[in-house]
Structure 1
């Protein structure tokens, strides 16, 4: 079992302090009412240190690097039960996360609501989702016997990755998710 070195632990601790400070300040003052300097001050680090940990700016402070999104979706496709259609596996995967998760603890619910209610954070979240297009298209192609470069495979992957942005801001996100997947399912032959 590999152990994390002191430097990595310190970096993770600073990143966590920055994220917690950002969430706290965004909750108190709203996203637009908080500057990067205020977040750095709240976390007791310099602005240079803040940007060393999150070069993308304050939007990135409350997100991870986004790689886990692609991993969840690829695993949902590759590890689905025998006979389960790819789209059903992806529907279930998304339904358990982000704006669709119904049983979140209060702190994660506040974070989700902040993201959904803040255009800059929703935009950054969308960027992270869209970054998973390649791996998701490859997984869909492998499971459907199609070429990953096939336009229909790439389009399906992109449409699925747009679901959190489109459905997440609806009054009933789960119903919107199901409506979108029903539409996609009618046009995708497995």
Structure 2
């Protein structure tokens, strides 16, 4: 009889991370759905002419501002303080703080899209919504998606006091 080959164990993804990924995917999915819905409202005569006025520049400026805020303050958090708490409790606290930060960064990134929606009605152009969606989605995936990059950055801030956060499963440099 042959025995099944042993496969190396892969580290399990914490339930908190899986839940956060599902919520973020749902939130990100709203942007294309709203863009499609607004196409029926704003693009009555096709996609129309590209606006030569200020609305696209305002959307671009909002995106630069959102990126700057997320990069400069989006990953800041007070470091963990020493306590006699068990590692599981520290990890749960780290995930709560990371989730809060993720939602805040998402709101900042989504504001770019919401500004473009408002400006599209002022400019009466679907192009403004399209520009907002094309800029806001990659900005969200870069700044707010709970991927390895963002987890490491936040874990480094949590662990800056020397206390392990267990957010990524290991201590950060």
Common fold by TM > 0.5:
no
TM-score by structure 2 length?
Answer: 0.33
Larger RCO of the pair (alpha carbons < 8 Å, separation 6+): 2
TM-score by structure 1 length?
Answer: 0.31
- Greater Rg by CA: 2
> Greater helix share, 1 or 2?
1
